[in-house]
Amino acid sequence: MSLFRKKSVDVIIEEAARGLGDGHESGEMKRILTTRDLTFMGIAAIVGAGIFSTIGGASYSGGPGIILLFLFVSVACGFSALCYAEFASMVPVSGSAYTYSYVAFGELIAWIIGWDLLMEYAIGNIAVAISWSDYFTSFVNHLHIGSFRPHIPEYLCTDYWTARAQGSEEAIAAWKTAPSLGSLRLICDLPAFLITILITYIIYIGIKESKRSTNVMVILKIGIIILVMVAGAFYVDTSNWTPFLPNGMGGVLSGTAAVFFSYIGFDAISTTAEECKNPQRDLPRAMFLSLIICTVIFVAIALVLTGMVSYSKLNVGDPLAFVFGSINTPFAHSLAMIISVGAVIATASVLLVFQLGQPRIWMSMSRDGLLPPVFAKMHPKYKTPSFSTILTGVVVGVPALFLNLNEVVNLTSVGTLFAFVLVCGGIVKFHNDPNRPQSKFKTPYVNGSVIVPLLFVAAGICMWVFNKNGVTTFFVLHEHIGPVERITLSEKVPYIGFAIVFFVTAVLSAVNKFSLIPILGFLCCTYLLCESGTTNWQRFMLWLLVGLCIYFLYGYRNSKLARMQRAKEL
């Protein structure tokens, strides 16, 4: 069926080299990125809002034991990184999981994951832009230059709906002081819009400028983080690490979405494959280096954070600045200001890397005829996807002016985990394919025919032991701060689905001798999807339904025409 028609790696590489898909041959993109540049981009994408904000809420629920969740998520991402690295070495072109799925599963699955990535990048970028605005506004409003105290009016750094709800002092001030046009109050988050435009301009004028900006921001924020860790170590009170698991493993796992949001980003560098000097060598190295470095940073910061103050005080939006601000010394207060600067830099670097990635996914989908040809149009001078880059700036910048996206962290995590699941599944599929494409990097093969079924049995035993009331209370909600609650039937569905998937995977592994590492990545990411909540799944499925409508109305027919056209050109 043409719905599941796959593309050969040779054809993809040749099309990318010739820039086919935009109606003419535009040539290659500039290949200037090295392992160091890619590693810096990975760190830039990973170390961002998560370490400066969401780590607080996760620590509040999990206590010092949150480091276990960081380690678990890093292992899950590590399994996925191995699979990403093999695909990046196998298919060294832009497109990330979209292109990988096209090679492994065919056009329909590729469209689904491409559409999923567009949601992940767009909504995630809007959230990052709004987060950057919050940090920047807080920094400016607390800045004292002699007698001069700059101040950004509340109505220029608050979204309309938050101001209208008037749920905070800032929102009330924004609503009362905003200028009006008739009955309409002029309220918007201007800093979020302006940073998006600035980042879009940097990306538009070239990958070299993007590389330089990223490297500078990463060096600055890593320096600030090291300073925080070293200085914070002197204020650590080890008694704050007791109890280590104040709310049990349930409290730790309740922070899954927030912690995973901290890790997403190492895959974004795979979208720059056509701008790497040696993508088959450099991309795998950069993925592993960035993941290892960031895991060490996250664990160290979590230990310092929960050691300086009790976990019960960390449910704040700026935990690092909070813990130093609570120490009554001039040095600590100076560090709090430095941390605010670090948060501004870190969040801007995340926005840059993800704004860099989305246009390249659009470009890859356009080459295949799934989006109009203009999405693949390259700038003749800068060699960047010009239209897609500008459109990305508009799609992120304009909503960031007006929207309040409190739920985007969870929704973005769902989209990323879904991509990880498909990438791991693709490697599992290829490991049993004698005609698999050649790759310079291969995920180590470990026979999972016995280990995976044993893991399923062990998981079942653990569930039975730790839930003594039997099958009827099998899915009791994790213990949070406060009394234990029970999840509803609709909230049980993801866990029941995971149990079925685990069982089927165990059986297939026993029969087909699947490779253990991609299977573990597949299972870990599938479980993390269960922890993302049914509400986010419902929104995610609605987004995919809209995408399928677009595919069958436009993409399916035009991809056929594009294949016929490229066959004549090649």
- pTM for this entry: 0.79
Q: pLDDT digit string (tens) for 217-241? A: 888 888 888 888 888 888 888 898 9
How far apart, in whole angstroms, are the C-alpha atoms of residue 504 and residue 511?
11
One domain for residues 121 and 164: yes
**Of all residues in the chain, what percent are helix, strand and coil, respectively (each to 5)?**
70, 5, 25
Using alpha carbons, list the distances in angstroms from residue 475 to 332, 365, 380, 488: 45, 40, 57, 9
pLDDT at position 53, please? 66
Instruction: Answer whether residue 290 is part of any domain.
Output: yes
Residue 240: CB partners within 8 Å, gap ≥ 6? 64, 306, 307, 308, 309, 310, 311
Instruction: Answer whether residue 5 is part of any domain.
Output: no
Instruction: Answer whether residue 442 is part of any domain.
Output: no
One domain for residues 478 and 347: no
DSSP state of 266: T
Q: Hey, is 145 helix, strand or coil?
A: strand
Q: Are 412 and 420 in contact (CB under 8 A)?
A: no
Q: Are 397 and 197 in contact (CB under 8 A)?
A: yes
All residue ranges of the chain with pLDDT < 70 are 1-2, 9, 12-29, 49-50, 52-54, 95, 256-258, 260-262, 264, 316-318, 404-413, 432, 465-492, 532-533, 560, 562-570
Instruction: Please report, for the domain that includes residue 308, its CATH number.
Output: 1.20.1740.10
Q: pLDDT digit string (tens) for 463-508? A: 776 654 444 444 444 444 444 444 455 566 777 888 899 999 999 9
The last residue of a domain, from among 361, 395, 430: 430
One domain for residues 143 and 52: yes
Q: Are 69 and 256 in contact (CB under 8 A)?
A: yes
* Both tokens assigned to 214: 């990223």
Number of compact structural domains in the chain: 2
pLDDT at position 502, please? 93
Using alpha carbons, list the distances in angstroms from residue 164 to 133, 161, 514: 19, 5, 55
How far apart, in whole angstroms, are the C-alpha atoms of residue 397 and residue 194?
8
Instruction: Answer whether residue 149 is part of any domain.
Output: yes
Ramachandran angles phi, psi of 480, nearest 5°: -110, -175
* Both tokens assigned to 457: 């049995």
How far apart, in whole angstroms, are the C-alpha atoms of residue 385 and residue 387?
6
One domain for residues 488 and 560: yes
pLDDT at position 118, please? 82
Ramachandran angles phi, psi of 240, nearest 5°: -70, -15
Radius of gyration of the chain measured on its C-alpha atoms: 24
pLDDT at position 285, please? 87
One domain for residues 300 and 383: yes
| Residue 441: burial class (beta carbons within 10 Å; 0-12, 13-18, 19+) | middle
Instruction: Answer whether residue 98 is part of any domain.
Output: yes
One domain for residues 457 and 364: no
* Alpha-helical runs (H) found in 244-308: 248-253, 256-263, 279-308
Q: Are 323 and 310 in contact (CB under 8 A)?
A: no
One domain for residues 344 and 491: no
Ramachandran angles phi, psi of 286, nearest 5°: -65, -40
One domain for residues 414 and 460: no
The last residue of a domain, from among 430, 465, 481: 430
Domain assignment of residue 456, given as a range: 451-569
pLDDT at position 17, please? 63
One domain for residues 471 and 408: no
pLDDT at position 368, please? 83
- Distance in angstroms between the alpha carbons of the first and the last residue of the chain: 23
Dihedral, 10, 13, 17, 19 alpha carbons, nearest 10: 110
Q: Are 229 and 301 in contact (CB under 8 A)?
A: yes
The last residue of a domain, from among 395, 430, 465: 430
pLDDT at position 565, please? 64
Using alpha carbons, list the distances in angstroms from residue 506 to 420, 441, 443: 19, 26, 20
pLDDT at position 25, please? 44
Instruction: Answer whether residue 9 is part of any domain.
Output: no
One domain for residues 57 and 132: yes
| Dihedral of alpha carbons 321, 324, 327, 332, sign | negative
One domain for residues 498 and 409: no
Dihedral, 125, 529, 539, 472 alpha carbons, nearest 10: -150
One domain for residues 495 and 563: yes
Give the Cα-Cα-Cα angle 274, 276, 278 (nearest 5 degrees): 110
Number of H helices, E strands in the chain: 23, 2
CA 528 to centroid of chain Cα atoms = 14
Instruction: Answer whether residue 24 is part of any domain.
Output: no
Instruction: Answer whether residue 446 is part of any domain.
Output: no
- Tell me which amino acid residue 68 is: L
Q: pLDDT digit string (tens) for 28-64? A: 567 788 888 888 888 887 877 667 666 777 888 888 8
